[in-house]
Amino acid sequence: MGHHGPGPRGAGPRGAAPGPAGLHRRQAGPRVELTLSPEIPYPFATLPQSATERLLAEHLAVFGTEVERATELRSVEMRPDEVEAVLAHADGRIERLHARYVVGCDGAHSLVRKAAGLTFEGDAFPEQYMIGDVEVDWELPAGYSMRAVNRDANGAMDDMLVCIPMPGVRRYWLSMLRPGSQAGGEGGSSAPDGIGLGLGGHGPDLGQIQAVLDRLAPEPTTASTLRWSSAFRTSHRMVDRYRNGRLFVAGDAAHIHPPIGGQGLNTGVQDAYNLAWKLALTVRGLATDDVLESYHAERHPVAQEVVGRTVHHARTVRHAGTGLSSDGDDAEMLLRRQAQLLVAYPDSPLVQQQAADGTPAAGPAPGDRAPDCRGLLSDLASYPRRLFDLLRTPRHVLLLFADSEHASGDGAAQLEACAAAAHRAAHGLLDAYLITAAEVPEDARPVGLRPPRVRDAAGEFRDAYAPRDGEALLIRPDGYLSGRFHPAVPERLTAHLRRTFA
């Protein structure tokens, strides 16, 4: 998934940031602080794409998976029982690979998408941009982005500078409009497939970057140490379907859009995460036939929203102003939306559509992202844990909440039975925890040793989820709430898990 646009793509809420986040506006008002709430354990990260790729490759290597560089996909042919892919290696070898499924993460000009017969409707923006990775000597606060826009007499944007901080001392990615005298002929709009998108053409030199800084920087500034530069333009397109038979698409192969807010990488990684656990169950013969169909049902609406919102914001910047948001969001809501913490799948065929007792619960609903909480104490650890520590697994997680009635005796035995039944229905690919309210005495014990007990000592689980005594909450491997069951009984849990597990 390539990067297309003014500014790097931010990591999702599970990244790590080099410094504070914010926006510094030239002359146009106060500095805007963008601070995530304490509930979100990981701040925004601004990393070079090379660093992101290295981190992902190192993580894959832990599982014995190697990313093969300099390997070209030449053709893809889908057959009734397999897919044949022809690969060309850098040493001249031609390899014919036979697979049950192929996922095309091969960018805007995706060969897999074309082989699958998927449409990719949309259009290109007329503006062309240039970008440079440089160091600047201004005295702006470290870790802040800066944006400046100039408009002509008719109100149209005719000059722009976006500065995104990168790791390092005063290192920034500067994105600028290409001067009108250079805007023709080179941008990335002449691809053979007609998709007007791409990093390419001749990037700016230090002199051209300095000229923009002289016009738009918030104070006298000198640029130096140009690491790389490029010219590009942006488009907005998306597929009609995420799947055709044994062929899938994800990331830029499925959707491209203006880079406002760093949504591209986040959306693509979420595509892959959503599909990966479903494919893993399918190839092991443990999933129902509907599981792979849920990929399109869940992710296509997300892409529609991201594409529509970023296109709207891009047009607003061009024609109306430079506001952070034009849809009425306050700062916290804007941050959550930009971090994609508001993505939800309420209409998914895999998600429980209503509470088991017919009464909607407070807190997150089935299909919502499972929020984090702190202050959880387990019997075998002397330090508090976060809920995300329990969810950091490729398995489903079942949380069984016990207050007074279900902390011991028959109530605890009922929750134990739910955990055992869910474990069987998920073919063992499920972890269960009994979460007890802070008021439950520490010496209260469930009937047996399973599921392990975690005490909500700080009360944050209760605040975040508003659970009821004896309620079960099922969380999927991708961190989304699959269902809430009150009262929790084995039959209801088993029936729900059969939507996913064969």
What integer is the mean pLDDT of 332-352? 88
Residues 52-80: b if buried by 16+ CB within 10 A, e if exposed: beeeeeeeeeeeeeeeeeeeebeebebee
Question: 3-class DSSP state for residue 284?
Answer: coil
Could you give the angle at which helices 409-425 and 490-497 cross, rounded to 10 degrees? Answer: 20
Q: Residue holding tokens 């011991």?
A: 408
What integer is the mean pLDDT of 336-346? 88
Whether residue 356 has pLDDT greater than 70:
no
Question: 3-class DSSP state for residue 378?
Answer: strand
Query: How is 301-343 classified by DSSP, letter by letter?
Result: HHHHHHHHHHHHHHHHHHHT---S-SS---HHHHHHHHTTTT-
Task: Report angle CA 390, 303, 21 to the nearest 5 degrees.
Answer: 60
Largest Cα–Cα separation, the chain: 80
Structure tokens at 161: 């500078």
What is the per-residue pLDDT for 19?
A: 37
Structure tokens at 480: 């989304």
Whether residue 322 has pLDDT greater than 60:
no
What integer is the mean pLDDT of 133-151? 89
Rounded distance between C-alpha atoms, residue 473 and residue 493, angstroms: 10
Nearest residue to 205 (alpha-carbon basis) of 180, 185, 181, 228? 228
Tally Cβ neighbours within 10 Å of residue 281: 21
What is the per-residue pLDDT for 4?
A: 29
Q: pLDDT for 254-284, tens place per residue?
A: 999 988 777 888 899 999 999 999 999 999 9
Q: pLDDT for 92-124, tens place per residue?
A: 999 999 999 999 999 999 999 999 999 999 998
Pairing of strands 223-239, 396-402: unpaired
What percent of the chain has a predicted confidence (pLDDT) above 90? 60
Whether residue 180 has pLDDT greater than 80:
no
> DSSP assignment, residue 188?
S
Rounded distance between C-alpha atoms, residue 242 and residue 300, angstroms: 7
Sheet holding 71-78, edge to edge: 71-78, 83-89, 94-99
What is the per-residue pLDDT for 7?
A: 31
* E strands present in 348-491: 376-378, 396-402, 430-436, 453-456, 472-475, 481-485
What is the per-residue pLDDT for 249?
A: 98
> Dihedral of the CA atoms 320, 322, 325, 328 (nearest 10)?
-50
What is the per-residue pLDDT for 157?
A: 80
What is the per-residue pLDDT for 327?
A: 54
